[in-house]
Amino acid sequence: MDSFSAVLRTATREQHRAAESAPFMSALLGGRLDVAAFARYTEQLWFVYEALERDAARLARDPVAGPFVRPELLRLPALAEDLAHLRGPAWRSTLTALPATLRYAARIGECARAWPAGYVAHHYTRYLGDLSGGRVVRDRAERTWGFAPGGPGVRFYVFDRLTDPVAFRHEYRRLLDGFGADAAGRGRVTAECRHAFALNTRVFEELHAELRVRP
Total site size for ligand HEM, rule CB under 6 A: 18
Contact characters 4-33, ligand HEM, x per CB under 6 A: -x--xx------x--xx----x---x----
Site for ligand HEM in 127-166 (CB under 6 A): 128-129, 132-133, 136-137
The three-state secondary structure class of 35 is helix
Greatest CA separation for the chain: 52
Q: How far is CA 184 from the centre of its chain?
A: 26
Residue closest to ligand HEM when measured from CB atoms: 133
Residue 202, interface with ligand HEM (CB under 6 A)? Answer: no
Sequence-ordered list of residues with C-beta below 8 angstroms from that of 68, at least 6 positions apart, any chain = 120, 123, 124, 172, 175
Q: Tell me the C-alpha distance between 6 and 12, whole Å.
A: 10
Cα within 13 Å of Cα(145), Cβ side: 22
Exactly one of 200, 207, 208, 211 binds ligand HEM (CB under 6 A); which one? 200
Contact characters 86-125, ligand HEM, x per CB under 6 A: --------------------------------------xx
Contact set with ligand HEM (CB under 6 A) = 5, 8-9, 16, 19-20, 25, 29, 124-125, 128-129, 132-133, 136-137, 197, 200
